[in-house]
Amino acid sequence: MKHPLHESRQVSRPYRITNGTKFRLRDYDPGDTGKLTAGDKPRAIEALRTGIELLAEMQDRLYAQDRYAVLVVIQAMDAAGKDSAIKHVMSGVNPQSVEVSSFKQPNSEELDHDFLWRCAKRLPERGHIGIFNRSYYEEVLVVRVHPEILASQKLPDEPSGQKLWEQRYKDIRGFERHLANNGTMVRKIFLNVSRDEQKKRFLERLNDPQKNWKFSAADVAERGCWKDYMQAYEDAIRETATPDAPWYVVPADNKWYTRIVVASAIIDTLASLDLEYPKVTGQKLKDFAAAKKALLAEGKPARKR
């Protein structure tokens, strides 16, 4: 088996959408494992470990170059594996230059601003990788499935209905284009879990005392809106997938494969930046030479008797 992360484009590109015109969620199988099989799982896990080392090296160059930032937006239904994907894929990188932001139900201050505001505050600075665990996309996902939420958002009367969602898609495209124009690479990942697999994971949380804390009865209630959520995700991806801010619809029924694809997408993004360590020239080289000369001229410390 070829190393799945040495050829990252071959791993993640089949799930990448840069033009949503013809996108249909039903065309993407949540149980897909690409060219790998369950028997490849042990080697795939080892490949992920090597990939994480490569990711750490590329992140170090990103930080040193201090020109670009990377924003990874992760969206999914409950129990799709967002937290575990973040934990495993980013486990080897320097926490000094990675920031993970989780967005829950907006508070009163956030509701007094536009829907992009709270996420804009958490954007990664140059040289950093930012991970959004949920994001401004909740405003065209959960809010669309539950439009009664709009009552608390103090919005103007217009636009409303379908025009409101179209306006938000337009605002999101403009926001992401602005970020790309200013050096922030935006990559959006939808962890595509099946309804059956979600049920299996919910039951695991109920049956395992160490996982009970993860379970919420509200999550089960949301399963009743499954079709509405799938339509909302399909529309959001179709309307906001662009070359500058593509979506990756990642199969999420097999976590070992999910993590490979997520890591692959981030590695592919960093590789596209042609990252290099800054070169020292001019006066700095002279300063370095002088500093080296001074250090070498120092006498060795006397041995203690």
pLDDT in tens, 95-111: 889 999 999 999 999 99
Q: What is the pLDDT of residue 4?
A: 43
Q: What is the pLDDT of residue 7?
A: 57
Lookup: tokens for 157? 């009367």
Is residue 72 within 8 A of residue 248, CB to CB? The reply is: no
Q: What is the pLDDT of residue 166?
A: 97
Calculate the average pLDDT of the chain: 92
Lookup: tokens for 255? 């976590």
Q: Which residues neighbour 173 within 8 Å (Cβ) at sequence distance 6 or greater?
A: 239, 240, 242, 245
pLDDT exceeds 50 at position 255: yes
Q: What is the pLDDT of residue 89?
A: 93
Residue-wise pLDDT for 21-62, tens only, equals: 999 999 999 999 998 888 888 888 888 888 899 999 999 999
Distance from C-alpha of 182 to C-alpha of 266, rounded to nearest angstrom: 19
The DSSP symbol for 121 reads T
Distance from C-alpha of 173 to C-alpha of 179, rounded to nearest angstrom: 10
Beta-strand (E) ranges in 57-205?
Answer: 69-76, 98-102, 129-133, 184-192
Distance from C-alpha of 27 to C-alpha of 67, rounded to nearest angstrom: 37
Beta-strand (E) ranges in the chain?
Answer: 16-17, 69-76, 98-102, 129-133, 184-192, 247-251
Candidate ranges 90-104, 115-129, 203-217, 282-296; pick with highest mean pLDDT: 115-129
Residue-wise pLDDT for 131-180, tens only, equals: 999 999 999 999 999 999 999 998 998 788 899 999 999 999 999 999 99
Tell me the pTM: 0.90
pLDDT exceeds 50 at position 90: yes
CA 71 vs. chain centroid, Å, equals: 7
Residue-wise pLDDT for 174-207, tens only, equals: 999 999 999 999 999 999 999 999 999 999 999 9
